[in-house]
Amino acid sequence: MKTIYLVILAMTAIMPITTYAQEKVQIYDPKANAEIQVKEAVAKASKENKHVVLQIGGNWCVWCVRLNAFEHTNPKIDSILKANYILVHINYSPENKNAVLLKKLEFPQRFGFPVLVILDAKGRRLHTQDSGFLEAAKNTANIYYDEQKVVSFLSKWTPAALNPENYLNH
């Protein structure tokens, strides 16, 4: 009887935290039409001479939430994103797996979540990035992603980095 009581007590202690975390974080919209999101982002990227970063994941994914927080609280990363990319959160959840878009993107979910897909200003897929390779080697002070790795990744896929004229005279 004591064991059952402890299990029930533990479950009731955990449930409010889990429920609160799920309700509080709403980065991804399960109701959004991903193909429209991408179309709008590509149109905007074309006008602004930027690329598109699709961050695919879900509100259920703790690593997706951590990456989003890291991108927006790290001034260097936030600056690179704003200067060079249109960032779009594409939902993947039981309610909406966005299977049609993910098929067009050659199944990026095979890398786990979150997964990043870079598109050019015409909507062509340039790169798919397993975000696990961007994680910090050691979690210190709740920093889960490595600034240098993320900066390097984002810098290598900017419009300027892919402009052939930047390499012809070197």
Classify residue 2: in a domain, yes or no: no
**Strand, coil or helix: 114:** coil
**Strand, coil or helix: 78:** helix
How many angstroms separate the most distant Cα atoms in the chain?
A: 78
Classify residue 9: in a domain, yes or no: no
pLDDT tens for residues 76-115? 999 999 999 999 999 999 999 999 999 999 999 999 999 9
Classify residue 28: in a domain, yes or no: yes
Classify residue 94: in a domain, yes or no: yes
If one counts every other C-beta atom within 10 angstroms of the C-beta of residue 151, the result is 16
Classify residue 7: in a domain, yes or no: no
Query: What domain range is 130 assigned to?
Result: 24-164
For 73, counting Cβ atoms within 10 Å of its Cβ (0-12 exposed, 13-18 middle, 19+ buried), the class is: exposed
Q: Specify the pLDDT at position 15.
A: 45
Classify residue 14: in a domain, yes or no: no
Classify residue 58: in a domain, yes or no: yes
Number of domains in the chain: 1
Q: Cα 11–15–19 angle (5° rounding)? A: 170
Q: Specify the pLDDT at position 116.
A: 98
pLDDT over 50 (residue 7): no
Is 118:40 a contact under the CB 8 Å cutoff? Answer: no
Question: Percentage of the chain surpassing pLDDT 70?
Answer: 85
* CATH code, domain with 89: 3.40.30.10
167, two tokens: 């390499």
Q: Specify the pLDDT at position 156.
A: 98
pLDDT over 60 (residue 16): no
pLDDT over 90 (residue 24): no
Classify residue 3: in a domain, yes or no: no
